[in-house]
Structures are given as structure tokens and as C-alpha cells.
Structure 1
Amino acid sequence: MSNKKNNRVELLLPPLALFFGSSLGAIDTIGYKDLLTSNDTLVSGAGVFELGFFNDVASGIYYLGISFKADPSRRAVWVNRENPMIDSSCTLQIRYDGNLVLIDRRQTPMIVNSGMLTTNVNTTATLLDSRNFVLEQGGTIIWQSFDYPTDTYLPGMKVGWFGLHTDQSRIQVLVSWMSSQNPSRGSFTLAVDYDGSTKLGVWRQDIVRMDIGFWDRGSFRFIFANTSDRYKFSYVSNGNETYFTFNSEGTDASTWFVMASTGELEEHYMVDANGNISFSSVSHQLCGDSQGGNSGTCLTSIPSSCKEGNDFSQVNGTMPSSALVSTVLTGFGECEALCRGNCSCTAFMFRQDNQAVCRGTRTTH
């Protein structure tokens, strides 16, 4: 039950997605020929976190995920959502070539570390006390779950842009669950703005955007009211990368953030040793137009002023820099979609010089 006075609630809900089985003798690592089944889990060295398979009850789909071992709801803080499995026959193992693979009754291996493949069989996969799941060889990390976040922003995890000015640039974002029970990709994304890279914002699928916070003279400031002192943000920007990260401080309670399926960014923290978790919103919701105006609990998009039949015409020339408003890294077609989705946008341009940046003009009010 929510407390309207301080907007903080305690999670005492029944489990929606349950982990199964018991740990493999409380081990935290698997190697070549080791097999993790749906009846087994890995437990981090300090015994705080657990990796195993859980079931989305509504769809019957199984996922590999990480949770707090003491959390009664076993709500996953990381999910391998790209490789859902169809039944409880699922297994995790390190294959003959050293790569992490998932297999279910379809018998088609799904590579977990597909973004960073290896050909060295001498690899191990370990669940760390930081909640990071890493595949490494000879002490060198080949792949880690922290580079592939889902909806949860964990201490030490980075959100931002990497490999700038290279042909392998990538972005790390949080994407909400489809619902509180379904971990597949939802409607909301938490990301660092590319050109205005000192800002953190939330995008909805229809391109409505809301700023969450910004870097201001050595500290991160949330735009909406927030009084927590459980964490400290850091900001890194150089020629290769731009990102935000944070760490818990001042208390033994672990703190993390969740991009909720409702459009809110939530701050979560462990209440006690029994695994009880509390959370509060550090932002208002990005509400749909059907939910009415700005009620104080959500922000809506500006009412549409578009007229049917409006279209863009291609012209040669430049737009004054004072009129340009940068948006996300994208392609030409997406630039047009972004501008069409914002009826105050009157024109757009697409620049590509090692980086692809979408810019548009907008009217002022």
C-alpha cells in the first residue's frame, strides 16, 4: 500500500516470478562442462545474490536472471531478456568454444555473450557480489551483464555512450519491463542525451521525453524532489565515452534504481536483513494522454497542434544553430519520425560525420 504523504512503499507483495531449486553447493562460478539447470542457482561469494532461472507465470516463458537471495519476491534486478526459453528444460553452460549458451528443448544454443564472442575454451562465468555476472579468461573480462542492463540501474553500472568516434559506438540504457510481471521490453527508456550529454532523461515509445536530472558543478541533481543520501553519482566524459554511474554511500543499505513499467524512475533500497525492500519515486510518471492533464503525479505531452496533411519538403541550406535542438542518435527516417511526433517541431536536419545526430527546430512558447 502506498503512503501518499512521502510516496514511499514497502514491497510485501507475493512473488510474481519465482526462482527455482537450490544452489550448486553455494558455488558462484561455472566452467567448461558445468551445467546450470532450472533446478540450480549460482550464489555470489558473500551469499547475497543469486543467479538462476525464473518463470513469467502468465506466458510460461523462462528467463535467466539475478536477484537478492533474501528478497521474498525474488524480483530480478538483471534479466537476459534477449534469450527467453520456452520450458523448464533450460540449461546454462560454457560451450566447447568458451562461450556462454542457453539451451531448452528446442536444442538450439542461444549465446548469452553474443556481443563479445570468444574462441578460448578456458573461460569461467562468475556471479560477483556486485551483482555483475562476468565471463572471463585468465582474469580478463570478456563479457559482463553490467554492459547489458535491463530495467535496473545497479551501483557501479554505467548508463551512457561508449566507443564514441569509432565504428563500434554503442549506448547503454535502461528499458522498463512490459509490466510488473513481464520482463520483456516495455515502453520507457532511461538514457543519457547524446548532445546534451550531462542530462539523464526518460523517453516513451512515442518519443515523448522528460528530463530526470543533470550534472551540475560536480554533483548530480534530480529535477524532481528527492531527499535520499544513500548514493553518490559520478559523471565521466572524454573522447571515447560519456556516462553516469553511482555508488551507495553513508549506509550499509544497498540502493538501486528501477525504470518502472509505469514510466516512473524508482529508488529502491534494502530495509533489513530479511530482504524486505522499500522504494519511492524520484520522478513523476510520463502519462498517456488518456490520463488527463498534469495532475501532479505525472507529466503529459504537449497537446497536439498538428494538422492533417502536413508534410516536409526538402530544401538546401542550413538552419541557424540557435534554433537547433539536439535529440537522440538515430537515422534519417527516425529523425523525421521524431519531428512528426512533436508538433512544435517545424523542420529537421540529419548530420553524419562519424556520428549521426538528429536535430530539429521547435517553436517557443
Structure 2
Amino acid sequence: MRIFFNNLNYLIIILIITPPASSDTLTGKQILKTNQTLLSQNQTFVLGFFRGSNTNYYLGIWYNNINPQTIVWVANRDNPVDNSTGYLKIGENGNFVLLNSSGNPAWSSNQTSAKNPVLQLLDTGNLVLKDSEQSNNYLWQSFDYPTDTLLPGMKLGWNFDTGVEKHLTSWKVKGEDPSSGDYTYKLDYRGLPEIFLRRNQTIIYRTGPWNGERFSGVPNMNADTHSIVFSFSDDAHGVFYSFSIWNASLLSRLTVTSDSDGELQRRTWIASSETWNNFWYAPADQCDHYRECGPYGVCDNNASPLCTCMKGFSPKNPQAWNLRDGSDGCVRKTGLNCSTDKFLHLEHMKLPETSSVFMNKSMTLDECGSLCKRNCSCTAYANIDIRNGGSGCVMWKKC
């Protein structure tokens, strides 16, 4: 605070208000400059500005006391502030806005007005805008706008009530340019929901549909995996995937990166060695590559060659198959006879894509099989949910 006296003995007080570095909250009377930060209550996360590979500045969230700096969210990833004179403030209409050196908005939360708006950084890593008089009513939250990282409590998927979809998008250049990159991780809710890793519009990897316990193509998603609990919800209001942590001291995150031509990485922090451990990643092997062995082909990473055809099928393109290119898949050796041909029982398989399938969640597997066998266009069937002996019916049909 600065105090000045003029010749008429009037007292003039000019207040210069800035948030302390230890505060987790920004009020309507404060601004956050590029050399200032907010620190969550238990000192887990930091909100502040960081510099990209050039003179651009970005508002982001990162872990506190972890070196190297690990950024988990970026507000203005595609609208940087061009120098260090930008700042963050709560606007007149109750949103919060990032201003550049000219005082023009570079990015905004675009929310409705509040009586006493405050911006708070939570220990979950969630940045929330709320009315101070309604502390549990969030007008805006960063968890609704993930960038490249999924944190515990964040949701990936679709809200059917609002039409909002949440997905991950890689940085353009890891560690240098946080603008939207080429790789996305998006949930497809058609049929049985699953998540696809894409480079632009090209599918690189798919998880397989959710089977009640995990995604069918991710066998190491166990409920007791290092205190990580995976959750999936699918109802009339939306379809979401998320995870939570039993052990509060464990730090874990899921990130889509531009590493190795696009990767998903689940990383956990090892405090003793002060490193991020790559606990799981995908694609992890050649069989994780999208359609590696094509239709009616089976991929086994422990076999040589990787690709084999199902019983009764042979390679569609023998020459390419012999050169270890199985992408064309397999075809029937003889024509289909619906009266005498039978189904093969296959286990521990990633289920095929289900964007256009028949589904009935109340049918048993026997009922599903009986229905499938009466329809000559049915090519395969399975349970929707594998828990408690299995339930539900999904059927694949040839087009």
C-alpha cells in the first residue's frame, strides 16, 4: 500500500492488490501476473504462467515440488500471450479472462455472471470458478476442459444432457509447444463404448469395448492395480470413463503424447527416485496396432508369425501374409453353411468394434447364442458384461 499527502492535507490511498503466492484463491479485486502463482491448499498443484519454446506465455496447472515441471492442464494452449506482461483477472460479467500486453482478451472461460465470483485451485488439480456464497456450485471447472492429461476424478466421454464431449489432445511438441497436436484420445459411445487413439482421423489404437470390469483390450486394468480404481458409467445422461486413487499419496496420470508416433502413457510418481514411472502405455506391442491382422485374423504377440487365421479361414492375401503383413485379414475356405457350421469358442480376446451391432442387456449368453444361430447373417456373439458369470448380449452381423 502506498500513501500520499497533497498540499490540502487530504489523504489519498492507492491500493495495489496482488494475490500472495501461497493463496489458492483469486478474487474479483485481484489479478494474477506472469510471475505470480496460486497454490492449492495442501500444496499439491500450482496455477501459474509458463513459457513455451519461444516468447509465448501460457496459463497452466502443474504439480508442486516435482522436478522437472509436469504440466497437466493449459488454459490458452492455442491462444498464447506474446510476452510476460499478460495477466489473469475475473471479468465484469463474472467469468475469468486472460489478457495480453494490450489489455485485450487472449482467452476466457465465457461464463455467466456471479455476485461474488472467485477462482480457486483445488488439491485435485481442478481449477474452479464459483460464487463465494455458493462454495459447492461450480460455474466453470477446468476438469470439463481437459488438454492432454486425465487426472483422478476427471471424466473422459460424453454428457448427453449438455452435448459436451471431453477428450484428450496431445501437445504439438512435447515439452515445448502445448498447442493442440495431432493425437487425440476420444470415447465412441456407439454400440458398446470404447476409446480410440487417433492421429488426425486415422485410428492407431483401440481399447476394445468395456466389459464390466475393464476395456477388453487392456488386460492389466485390474481393480487393485496400485490402488488405482477404474470407473465406467453408461446411462441416458452420458457415457464416461474415469479413475480414482485409494492411496492419497500416490500421484498418477494418463497422458496422450506425440512420443513414438503417438502414445497413451499411464505414469505414476516414484518419490524415492523422484521419477515418473511408465506404469502402462499403448500401443505396447505390434498386436496393439489397429487391425494388425485384419478381419478373422488373430494376433498373438508371443507367436511367430504374429498373425494366424481362425479355424476354417485362410489369408486373403497370401503373398502379403507371408511377408508378415496381415492387414487384409482372412477369408472363409468354404462357403458358409448355416445348417451345419458351428461357432468357435474364443477366450481372452479383444472384442471387435461394435459401432453397428445388436445389443440386449437383459439376455443370457445362451439366449444370445440361440438368437444368433437362427440368423445366418450373425457372425459372432458375446456377453456385454463378464461379471458374475456374464450377462447381456452383443451380436455382430455381416453387412
TM-score for the superposition, normalised by structure 2: 0.62
Equivalent AA in structure 1 for residue 182 of structure 2: S
**Which whole-Å CA distance do the structure 1 matches of 2:326 and 2:164 have between them?**
31
- Does the CA-based 8 Å contact 1:204-1:286 persist in structure 2? no
Instruction: Name the counterpart of 1:246.
Output: 243
Percent sequence identity is 29
Which residue in 1 is equivalent to 2:180?
Answer: 185
Quick one: which amino acid aligns to residue 253 of structure 1?
L
- Structure 1 residue 111: Cα displacement: 4.3
Q: CA deviation at 1:85?
A: 1.0
Q: Find out whether 1:223 has 2:252 as its counterpart.
A: no
**For 1:102-145, what per-residue CA distance to the aligned partner results, in whole angstroms no more than 9, with x for missing partners?**
0111321244312xx11224100000000000000122100000
Letter in 2 for 1:284: P
Q: Given residue 83 of structure 2, which amino acid in structure 1 is its aligned partner?
A: D
1:194 correspondence with 2:223: no
* Shift in CA distance, 196/267, structure 1 to aligned 2, threshold 3 Å: same
CA distance in 2, matches of 1:177, 1:103: 22
Do the aligned partners of 2:169 and 2:181 also contact (CA within 8 Å) in 1? yes
Between the aligned partners of 2:398 and 2:201, the Cα distance in structure 1 is: 20
Q: Which residue of 2 aligns with 1:55?
A: 51
Asked if the contact 2:21–2:37 (Cα under 8 Å) also holds between the matched residues in 1, the reply is: no
Alignment of 1:23-172 (within 5 A): 24-57=20-53, 59-80=54-75, 81-114=77-110, 117-137=111-131, 138-139=134-135, 140-164=137-161, 168-172=162-166
Give the direction of change, closer, same or farther, for the CA distance of 1:186–1:197 in structure 2 (3 Å limit).
Answer: farther
Give, in angstroms, the shift of residue 238 of structure 1: 1.5
Query: Equivalent residue for 1:232?
Result: 229
CA contact (8 A) 1:52 1:65 kept: yes
Q: CA offsets, 1:178-227, max 9 Å, x none?
A: 1212111111111111203531221221322421254222x224625647
Q: Give RMSD over aligned pairs.
A: 3.3
Please give the alpha-carbon distance, in whole angstroms, between the structure 1 residues aligned to 2:276 and 2:154: 20
**Aligned residue type for 2:265:** E
Q: Which moved more, 1:142-151 or 1:69-78?
A: 69-78
1:271: which partner in 2? 270
C-alpha separation between the residues in 2 aligned to 1:128 and 1:159?
19
1 CA distance for matches of 2:215 and 2:146?
A: 22
What CA distance in whole angstroms lies between the structure 1 residues aligned with 2:79 and 2:272? Answer: 32
Q: Is the alpha carbon distance of 1:163 and 1:171 closer, same or farther for their aligned partners in structure 2, counting shifts above 3 Å? A: same
Distance 1:279 1:148, change over 3 A: same
Distance, in Å, in 1 between the alignment partners of 2:68 and 2:216 is 29
Letter in 1 for 2:151: L
Provide the residue aligned with 1:259 in structure 2. Answer: 256
TM-score by length of 1: 0.68
Q: RCO greater where, 1 or 2, for CA within 8 Å and sep 6 or more? A: 1
Q: Name the aligned partner's letter for residue 28 of structure 2.
A: Y
Give 2:370's aligned residue: none
Q: Give, in angstroms, the shift of residue 169 of structure 1.
A: 1.0
Distance 1:221 1:162 in 2: 20
Contact 2:268–2:279 at 8 Å: present in 1 too? no
Amino acid at match of 1:129: D
- Whole-angstrom distance in 2 between the partners of 1:282 and 1:233: 16
Structure 1 residue runs without a partner (length 5+):
1-21, 288-292, 305-323, 328-361
Quote the Cα distance in structure 1 between the aligned partners of 2:205 and 2:122.
34
For residue 330 of structure 1, what is the aligned residue in structure 2?
none
Cα separation, 1, equivalents of 2:48 and 2:39: 9
Name the structure 1 match of 2:374: none
Question: Residue type of the partner of 1:268?
Answer: R
Quote the Cα distance in structure 1 between the aligned partners of 2:101 and 2:327.
50
SS of 1:77's partner is strand
The structural deviation recorded for 1:73 is 1.5
Between Structure 1 and Structure 2, whose CA radius of gyration is higher? Answer: 2
Could you tell me whether the CA contact under 8 Å between 2:80 and 2:106 is conserved in 1?
no
Q: Shift of residue 235 of structure 1?
A: 1.1
Q: Which runs of 5+ in 2 are unaligned?
A: 1-17, 287-291, 294-300, 302-324, 329-352, 357-396
Distance 1:131 1:220, change over 3 A: same
Give me the whole-angstrom Cα distance separating, in 1, the residues matched to 2:326 and 2:36: 50
Task: Report what 2:350 is aligned to.
Answer: none
Amino acid corresponding to residue 247 of structure 1 in structure 2: S
Whole-angstrom distance in 1 between the partners of 2:284 and 2:199:
10
What is residue 208 of structure 1 aligned with on the other side? Answer: 203
Q: Would you say how many aligned residue pairs link Structure 1 and Structure 2?
A: 277
Q: Secondary structure at the match of 1:183?
A: strand
Cα distance change on mapping 1:302 and 1:91 into 2, 3 Å: farther
Tell me what 1:342 maps to.
none
- 171-180 vs 198-207, greater mean Cα deviation: 198-207
Q: Where does residue 355 of structure 2 map in the other structure?
A: 326
